[in-house]
Amino acid sequence: MATESAITNWMAHPGVVDVPSNPDAIDKAMDAWIMRADTLKPELGQFFERRKPVTDSLKITTLGSELELPKLSSDTAALSGNTVEPTQGYDITFTTRNFYSILEITDDMLKMDLSGKISGMMQGMPNSYRRLYEYAYVYSLIDNAFANVVGADGCYLCSDSHPNELSRHSGWDNLEAASAFSDTTWATCRVNMMTRKGRLGDPDPRLPKTLIHPPALTQTVFRVLRSPLLPGYALNDANWNQDSVTPMPSHWMTSTTAWLALDGSTGDERGLYLVERQAPEITQFKRENPYIKKSWAGKAAFVTGFSICRGIHGSVGA
């Protein structure tokens, strides 16, 4: 699984395109130069709420607008004994992290570039930041959903011991048993989400809309969600799970067994955040060194994280 230190260091080292480092680009015996494409398809960013802080940190509270249900009273004028209160919330502060990269091309490299593709390497810089963002999304949403990183309530994203904002109400859980994805585990997940309790201890049903899973589970997910009859059974029972959710393979996640279900909530209600103080910015600049002919610098400052996510349910798998 990806670690925070790994994400901090990825794409954060200067690089120089010079003759010793790129011998193939000037090899006169070369018959063809192939520029490998940096393929990239954004996936998980759509689930994160983008926030722009004024400073390097942003504080978010989960204070709710829900009020307790009206209380039964034979005298509507007796207001003193029938007050209701709002739900309190949990606070969490996100501190952005700085990232940078530098690409420099030497004079010799430009003059001896027989392939004519050295300058085209610059296109790889914005793609490197897009990859960095995808790694960060996976870091918060999947690879560390069950350990290492805690949200506003002091629990992991998926936990069986989430406390309630109102302490007099029982807590809730969104952690499925650590077992392989199957029709049984998915059915249990659906029931858990549909019977989930809200901040006031009242029913707050959640309907799963998206199932995020690794490529390794694609075949199993297809059988569970697309088979009209229960897969692996000989009784021809109808498959209750058929077309119950939209599957989405995440090609960036490192786990081969973990999976998460998300409901249709958005924004603050979903609870996933991209706190971005500085969006990726690529700038061309000049060095005092006369042998450095082209230089590009990139920078970004952001962090991903979560607060309270009642609309998410997950399992580390097996």
Q: Quick one: pLDDT at residue 6? A: 46
Cα separation, 224 vs 213, in Å, equals 13
Cα separation, 143 vs 131, in Å, equals 16
* Non-local CB neighbours of 269 within 8 Å, separated by 6+ positions: 311
Q: Quick one: pLDDT at residue 175? A: 95
Q: Quick one: pLDDT at residue 117? A: 77
Question: Tens of pLDDT along the chain (318 residues)?
Answer: 344 554 444 444 558 888 888 888 888 888 887 877 777 788 999 999 999 998 999 999 887 777 777 777 766 665 556 666 677 788 999 999 999 999 898 898 888 887 777 877 777 888 889 999 999 999 888 888 999 999 999 999 999 999 988 877 888 999 998 889 999 999 999 999 999 988 888 888 999 999 999 999 999 999 999 888 877 676 777 888 888 999 999 998 889 999 999 999 988 889 999 999 999 999 998 888 888 888 899 999 999 999 999 999 999 998
For 307, phi then psi, to 5°, come to -110, -95
pTM of the model: 0.85
* Non-local CB neighbours of 297 within 8 Å, separated by 6+ positions: 100, 101, 102, 103, 282, 283, 285
Cα separation, 59 vs 143, in Å, equals 24
Q: Quick one: pLDDT at residue 80? A: 59
- Of the candidates 315, 71, 60, the one whose C-alpha atom is nearest the C-alpha of residue 174 is 315
State the SS3 of the chain: CCCHHHHHHCCCCCEEECCCCCHHHHCCCCCCCCCCCCCCCCCHHHHCEEECCCCCEEEEECCCCCECCCCCCCCCCCHHHCCCCECCCCEEEEECEEEEEEEEEEHHHHHCCCCCCCHHHHHHHHHHHHHHHHHHHHHHHHHCCCCCCECCCCCECCCCCECCCCCCCCCECCECCCCCCCHHHHHHHHHHHHCCECCCCCECCCCEEEEEECHHHHHHHHHHHHCCECCCCCCCCECCCCCCCEEEECCCCCCCCCEEEEECCCHHHHCEEEEEEEEEEEEEECCCCCCEEEEEEEEEEEEEEECCCCCEEEECCC
Going from N- to C-terminal start, the domains of the chain cover 4-23+42-63+89-315
- Partners of 106 in the beta sheet? 292
- Partners of 283 in the beta sheet? 297
Cα separation, 166 vs 164, in Å, equals 5
Q: Quick one: pLDDT at residue 29? A: 84
- Partners of 112 in the beta sheet? none
Q: Quick one: pLDDT at residue 3? A: 46
Q: Quick one: pLDDT at residue 20? A: 86
Q: Quick one: pLDDT at residue 237? A: 79
Q: Quick one: pLDDT at residue 52? A: 94
Q: Quick one: pLDDT at residue 2? A: 42
Q: Quick one: pLDDT at residue 165? A: 83
